[in-house]
Amino acid sequence: MFFVISVFISKCNLPIDKDKRFPYVIYKPDNKYVLQHKLTEVSGLSFISDREVALIEDESGSVFIYDLGKNVVERKITFDKKGDYEDVEMVGDTAYVLRSDGKIFELENISGSRSQLKENKYNTSLSRQNNTEGLCYDNKSKLLLIACKDKPGIGKTGKKYENKKAIYSFNTETKTFSDTPYVLIDINEVQKTARGVHTNAIRKLIRFYTDNRESHDFEPSGLSIQPLTGDLYIISSVGKLLVIVSPEGKLLNVIKLPPSIFKQPEGIAFDSIGNMYISNEGRNGKGNILRFNYVKDQSFTL
pLDDT tens, N- to C-terminus, the chain (302 residues): 444 434 433 444 443 444 457 999 999 999 999 998 789 999 999 999 989 999 999 888 999 999 999 999 999 999 998 889 999 999 999 999 999 999 999 999 999 888 889 999 999 999 999 999 999 999 999 999 999 999 999 987 667 788 999 999 999 999 999 999 999 999 999 999 987 743 444 444 544 454 444 556 899 999 999 999 999 999 999 999 999 999 888 999 999 999 999 999 999 999 999 999 999 998 778 899 999 999 986 544 33
Q: What is the distance between the terminal CA atoms of the chain, rounded to a whole angstrom?
A: 16
Please check whether residue 210 lies inside any domain of the structure: yes
Please check whether residue 298 lies inside any domain of the structure: no
- Count of domains observed in the chain: 1
Phi then psi for residue 242, to 5 deg, are -120, 115
Which element (helix H / strand E) includes 256? strand 251-256
Please check whether residue 11 lies inside any domain of the structure: yes
Q: Is the separation of the CB atoms in 113 and 155 below 8 Å?
A: no
Please check whether residue 211 lies inside any domain of the structure: yes
According to the model, what pLDDT value does residue 283 have?
Answer: 76
Please check whether residue 213 lies inside any domain of the structure: yes
Please check whether residue 219 lies inside any domain of the structure: yes
Instruction: Return all residues near 166 (Cβ < 8 A) that are at least 6 apart.
Output: 130, 147, 148, 152, 153, 181, 183, 184, 185
- For residue 53, give its domain range: 2-292
Please check whether residue 299 lies inside any domain of the structure: no
Which contacts qualify for 245-249: CB closer than 8 Å, 24 or more apart?
245/183, 245/185, 249/183, 249/184, 249/185
Please check whether residue 101 lies inside any domain of the structure: yes
DSSP string, 205-248: HHHHHH--------B--EEEE-TTT-PEEEEETBTTEEEEE-TT
Q: How many Cβ atoms are within 10 Å of 7's Cβ, its own excluded?
A: 12
Q: How far apart are CA 13 and CA 106, in angstroms?
A: 38
Q: How far apart are CA 95 and CA 238, in angstroms?
A: 27
Q: How far apart are CA 235 and CA 217, in angstroms?
A: 11
Phi then psi for residue 206, to 5 deg, are -65, -45
Q: How far apart are CA 37 and CA 18, in angstroms?
A: 42
According to the model, what pLDDT value does residue 201 have?
Answer: 47
| CATH (domain of 233) | 2.120.10.30
Nearest to 17 by CA among 301, 256, 252, 248: 252
pTM recorded for the entire structure: 0.87
According to the model, what pLDDT value does residue 115 have?
Answer: 82
User: Parallel, antiparallel, or unpaired: how do β-strands 176-186 and 222-225 relate?
Assistant: unpaired
